[in-house]
Each structure stands twice: as structure tokens, then as C-alpha cells.
Amino acid sequence: MINKILTKKNLHSHIDLLLILSLLLAAVVLFYPNLGTLPLRDWDEGIVAQVAREISREKWNWLYPTINDTPYFNKPPLIHWSIAFVYSIAGVNELTARLFPALLTAFSVPLIYGVGRELFRPRTPAIFTALVYLTLLPVVRHGRLAMLDGAVVCFFLLMIWCVLRSRHNLRYSLAIGISFALVSLSKGIILGLLLGVIAFLFLWWDTPRLLSSKYFWSGILLGMLPVFLWYTAQFFHYGVEFFYANFFHQSLKRIWQPVGSHDGPIWYYLLEIIEYSFPWQLFCLPGLYLSWKNRNLSWGKLILIWSGVYLLAISLMNTKLPWYVLPIYPALALAVGSYLTEIWHQFPLDLGYFWFPNDKYLPTHKDSKKHLWSIPTVYHRLVVALFALLAIIAWVTSVYLSGIFILGESNLAKPNLQLQLISVAVAMTLTMVTLLLNQRDRQFLLILIWGTYLSLLMFVSSPHWVWELEEDYPAKPVGEMIQKNTPPGQIIYSFGTRDRPSLNFYSDRLIKRVGPEKIQQQWQSITQPYLLVEASILNDLPLNNFQVLNTVKGWALVTREGKR
């Protein structure tokens, strides 16, 4: 009997290992392609890449990072350290800047499967949760960028997994503290505290006995030790200036004052989720309701606290940035995964309902009507109608992108083969899903997941996945022009309308925005001034004796004549 139990346990372990490796492979395949072919975007990518480069140049910059040779107080440098390490091995370029954050985000996919396995007794909801999370556009897109947010989600998932494991083994409390340290050393202790509060509230509701254990708190405090050491080092090196810049200006101040023009209404992030979490936003509300119905179970408690507390916190902030919402997507994936499991178990039963289980067990056909809460047939018809409408929109978009419609003598759209193929893939997926869903065939879930994955793979393999690059002039060729024609460490002045951290990175120079009066003063007082201006206004420059060193993409680099 004991041998039978051990054999069964080993079989389950091998199945879990196989699934973890498969999910990791699927994530790497989706997160790796085309990382190095597109330039870095503003803002965070340019800043992170530049800080990492300066760390790789100076041996003490790893502890006291700089940007453009001035102290960098914005965020702790854990991710910058990792990128700098990759730089030292493979050089400085777009691929090496994005590689480590992308790999960390890829590792978050098997991590959320592990979280699902801890929360749900069956394996199916954990699989659906991981697949939903893997095919969320915001997770894929922001996770591939040289930013901090994908790594933070990975570390937070590690923290949640350790919290769940610590309910049975207190040794995982040390790993909770280490996970907290990883989050705090990636994006600041304020975010670490917010995510820590979510974990604390879950334990307070689910397993309050842990909160009275001195061994539990001792392990957490020991794991958090690197955070205290790093912040102490900053205080002794910079003094109060660091805490004002890091805690107040870069963190707390964003609660009541927006950064730049990045503000929005309190429902900003709800719209962000609805707009970009296709197609899983159609199942979010039923998933959250299912979590509410099962709020006496651990998974229901975690989903409600995680999604509710985090969404409320970021919605109340005046600063609104799209990537701030990223840590909520694992919670939504858990909610959707639990709901998709119910659809999978109930279809193709001709019950006329989407069934939800009661608090204790998954239903069978025999007792489903007796024990289940249900949503009327109208909801099923509404979802079918929505998928049909989306399929029509996708087909119209693919035809539009083919450029075959003619209005007068001009095409409505220039032919774009890559976007057209992506639209066709999405349209075919939605069409098949509509037909299968209308027949209550549960295979629609497999088609939806596989079609979404392939569409995302085609999307990230195209040059359109960083669409923000089209919002301004290309920074890479202009930056390379500056780097080629100016000495290292030279400050470049510009009439540009906004700062471009990516331009600073590609030029490896500090680009300062100035007005016409200021540049005239600098022009007279500096021995060798350099100015970046639009080529179209060269004839209108209020300067004398200047020469054009080079012109690229409509931008010209000028200096005083005869000084080179």
C-alpha cells in the first residue's frame, strides 16, 4: 500500500515537472524572438539601459548607480545589475538590455502554475491559469521590454508561492523575506510594502496562526536583510538627499501628484484591463464572481484580496502609467483559470447554463442542477455574440490591411502583410471559437488558447510590438550620429520638445533641452558647443558662425564654425 502511494506521488511529481518545463519552453519561445531588432523606447527602457551601462563601466557604480554621471535615485539597481552583467558578457545592445527581464517574465509562467497547484486541488485550473497568463498581451509586451515590471511580477509570484508553502513548512518564511527583498531591490520598498500587505492580508484571513509564529517572522526578517543593508549604504553615502528623492519624490509623491502628464480618471486601469486583456476580459467578471462564491477557500480569498487591494491602491494614485497594472494580471489569470475549468467540466452538457460549483467540490452531471449556482442562458448567448462580433471586426481589419479597398483614387490603407497575417490568425481563431462555443463544445477553449498564442507569437515577431516607436523621430540613428561626431562626455543642447532617455542611451551623451535665449548664452560661453536641431529650422537659427556636422532623419548636429 505504501509503495502504491509513493508510486502515485512520484507519477504526479513527474507530470508536474513535465508541465513546468513545457510551460517554460512555451514562454521562452514567446518572450525571446525579435528582442534585439527594434530600438529601445522611451522612457523606462532608455533609463534602465543607460544605468546598466554605467554600472558595467565603473566598479563602484553597482552600489551607487549613476545616470549620465549623476546619482541615480529613482529605483534600486537589482535589475540594472543583472543587465550590466549581461553587458559584460555579450556587449551593449538591445538584445542584452532586454534579455534578462524577458527571461524573468518567462519564468513567471511556471511560477503561476506552481501557485495554482498550491491553491487548487485539481491540476486543470492551474494549467488554465498558466495558459491564460501566458497569453495576456500586457504581460507579453511589457515583460519583453528592458523594464522592471515583468521582473517584479516574477518575484511577487515567487513570494505568493512561498507564502502558500509556508502554511505547511515554516522554512519557506525565509524565502518570503528573500522574495520581498527581490521586489524591493527591483522597484523600491514602497511597492514591496504594498505587495507585502496583500500577502499579509491573505494570511490574516486564511491562516492567521502563522502571523503569531516567531519563527515565521524571524525567517522573513532574515530574508529581508539585503534591503536594509542597501538602503543603509545609500543613507551613509548620500544622506537625507537619497531618502527625499527615492521615498518622497519618486514614490510617495506620485500618489497625489502625477508625473508629467501621466494622469487619468480613477477608472483608468479598469479601462486598461478591458482594452488590452483580450480575449480573457470576457471571462474576468464570472471568474471574480466565482472567487466570491468560494471566498471560504484559499484560492477565492487570495484572488479577492490580490485583485481588490492592488487595483484600489493604483487607482487612487494620481500618476497613471499602463505598466503599473501589470501585477494584477496573475490574480485575474487565477480567476479566469478557475472559471474556464468549470466550463471545461460542464461542456458539452446541454444544461443551458454556465455552471459554478458550490464551496466544496466540483460538480458532476448527476448533481449539477441540485447543487450549483447558475448564470442564465442569456449570458452564454451574449458571449457567443461578442466573439462573433470580434471575429467580424478581425476579418474586416485583415481586408482593410490588404489595401484592396479603394476610395476614389487612393487606397484606404497601405498593404501590410505582417499585420494582415496577424489579423487573419485572430479572425480564424475567433470564428472557430464562435462556432464551437455556440455548440457548447469545450474544444473552443483549446482553440482560443492556441490561436491566441500563435497570434501573439506572430505579433512579437513583427516590428509592431513596440508601437510607441512611431510616436516620435527614431532615436537610434540620431544618437549614433551624435556619438560619432562628438567627444565622450560632451553635453549636447537641443530645441527638442521633450526629453528622450533613449536618445541619451544611443548617443551615450546627455541631451539637454534649452530655449533660444539659453542656447545663445551657451554658444558664447562654451568653448565647443554642440546643438541638435531639426534640419528644417537651420536657416532660422539665431546663431552666427555655425557649421552642420551631419544630418540624419531630419535632425542636424551643429557646432561653432572653425572650432573642430
pLDDT along the chain (564 residues), means of 10: 57 84 96 93 91 86 89 93 94 95 97 96 93 96 95 97 94 95 94 95 95 93 94 92 84 78 87 92 92 94 97 92 94 95 74 39 39 50 90 89 52 67 93 91 93 96 89 90 91 81 92 80 80 84 82 89 62
Between the CA atoms of 181, 187, 189 and 194, what dihedral angle is there, to the nearest 10 degrees? Answer: -100
Q: Compute the distance between CA of residue 200 and CA of residue 163 in angstroms, rounded to an integer.
A: 9
pLDDT at residue 496, rounded to an integer: 67
The pTM is what?
A: 0.91
Decide: 476 and 552 in contact? Cβ < 8 Å. Answer: no
Place of cell 543607460: 50
Q: Which residues of 140-177 are buried (b: 16+ CB within 10 A; e: fewer)?
A: bbbbbbbbbbbbbbbbbbbbbbbbbbbeeeeebbbbbb
pLDDT for position 103? 96
Strand partners, 531: 493, 558
Tally Cβ neighbours within 10 Å of residue 272.
20
Kindly give the pairing relationship between strand 373-375 and strand 555-560. unpaired
CA atoms within 13 A on the CB side of 7: 4
Q: What is the pLDDT of residue 366?
A: 42
Whole-number Å distance between alpha carbons of 166 and 180: 14
